[in-house]
């Protein structure tokens, strides 16, 4: 009778793949670099997040609100009356962008009478605006004709706003973009429709 045969298990042959893969690291670095490039391009040319730092737009926009600013809108057309814009103020001492509402555009005439705003002789009532609209600086004489290529801006909180009544019209190239969305705080999320 033949002796029983024993079967030995197959030998484990390790793969030649190292535990550390440079290829995986390179793919992660490439993905991160692409994400950074896309983010920079979007921020420079398409949209930008801005924090509202002043109280001049209360209650439309509160201090510390975060808004999304479209940089594309004014590449295809100019600012319109009623737009809420973010811009670099034309004053040398300003270090942060301002957020204000466009009241008049180039060629239009602004007048302030009895606490009210008139554009081209017609009273302009903006539902969100409050407080008497008074002149602020003697060098801005009314009626004031907005130069071509500029806009006249004011905050909705008229009593506590440093705006075109103080520093004059804003050149269109100073405009960063148009506010299209307030996304923070989440309980006050709103799309601004124009």
CATH number reported for the structural domain that contains residue 70 in this entry: 2.10.109.10
Ranges in the chain, pLDDT < 70: 1-20, 41-47, 193-194
pLDDT of residue 9: 63
Question: Token pair of 177, please?
Answer: 């973009």
Number of domains in the chain: 1
pLDDT of residue 192: 74
Which of the residues are catalytic? 56, 100
Whether residue 146 contacts residue 106, with contact meaning beta carbons closer than 8 Å, is answered with yes
> The domain containing residue 102 runs over which residues?
49-191
Q: pLDDT, tens digit, for every residue of 12-44?
A: 655 555 566 777 788 888 888 877 777 776 666
| Residue 17, domain member (yes or no) | no
Residue closest to 149 by CA, chosen among 173, 177, 131: 173
Whether residue 99 contacts residue 127, with contact meaning beta carbons closer than 8 Å, is answered with no
| Residue 152, domain member (yes or no) | yes
| Residue 25, domain member (yes or no) | no
| Residue 114, domain member (yes or no) | yes
What predicted TM-score, i.e. pTM, was given to this entire model? 0.75
């Amino acid at each position: 009778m033949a002796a029983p045969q024993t079967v030995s298990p197959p030998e484990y042959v390790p793969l030649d793949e190292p535990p550390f893969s440079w290829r995986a690291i390179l793919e992660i670095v490439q993905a991160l670099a692409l994400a950074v490039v896309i983010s920079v391009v979007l921020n420079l040319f398409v949209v930008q997040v801005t924090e509202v730092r002043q109280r001049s737009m209360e209650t439309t926009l509160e201090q510390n609100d975060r808004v999304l600013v479209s940089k594309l809108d004014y590449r295809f057309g100019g600012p319109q009356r009623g737009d809420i814009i973010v811009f670099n103020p034309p004053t040398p001492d300003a270090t942060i962008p301002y957020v204000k509402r466009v009241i008049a555009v180039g060629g239009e005439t602004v007048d302030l009478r009895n606490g009210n705003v008139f554009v081209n002789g017609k009273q302009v009532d903006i539902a969100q605006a409050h407080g008497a609209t008074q002149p602020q600086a003697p060098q801005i004489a009314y009626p004031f004709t907005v130069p071509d290529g500029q806009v006249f801006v004011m905050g909705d909180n008229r009593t506590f706003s440093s705006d075109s009544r103080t520093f004059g019209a804003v050149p269109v190239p100073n405009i960063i973009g148009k506010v299209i969305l307030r996304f923070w705080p989440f309980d006050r999320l709103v799309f601004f429709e124009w």
